[in-house]
Amino acid sequence: METKINKLSEIDKRNPFTVPEDYFTGFNQRIMDCLPEKETVKPKAVSMWDKTKPWIYMAAMFMGLFFTFQLITRNSANQQRDSANQAATIQSAQFTDDYWSTVKITEEEFYQYLEDQLVNEGYYDYMYNRVYMN
């Protein structure tokens, strides 16, 4: 251990690095002289359309959102109003057993009516295609 301490004490304490005199006085100019000349690039002309394009796109997006919300709220308001009208109609109709007892239709006529509705609306073709064609 003593040998290492002795060797450390033998090292010279002065700084071994030196800077030549007047090295930093013209340092900036010498660096600038070594650099190549920089080409000046003329800025590209930006058209009015390129300047306003983002703003126009943003305005179109907000208009689309506005009309979408208007359509959604108008449809939901119409649906609420229609459902309220239907509820009022159903309440005012007061369906009773007396109405159905006065209807003079046989069971066969009723089934014939349902079958005619299925044929006229094309439900037979729809059901056939769904069941047998898939």
In degrees, rounded to 5, the angle at the alpha carbon of residue 115 between the alpha carbons of residues 114 and 119 is 120
Give the model confidence (pLDDT) of 62-112 as tens digits.
999 999 998 888 877 677 777 777 766 666 555 555 555 667 788 888 888
CB atoms within 10 A of CB 118: 14
- Which carries the bigger pLDDT value, residue 15 or residue 94? 15
- 3-state DSSP assignment of residue 23: coil
Q: What is the pLDDT of residue 56?
A: 96
Q: What is the pLDDT of residue 81?
A: 73
Give the model confidence (pLDDT) of 16-74 as tens digits.
788 888 888 888 888 888 888 888 888 889 999 999 999 999 999 999 999 999 888 88
Is-contact 118 124, C-beta < 8 A? yes
Q: How far apart, in whole angstroms, are the C-alpha atoms of residue 60 and residue 53?
A: 11
Q: What is the pLDDT of residue 18?
A: 84
The pTM for the full model equals 0.32
Q: Which DSSP state fits 46?
A: P
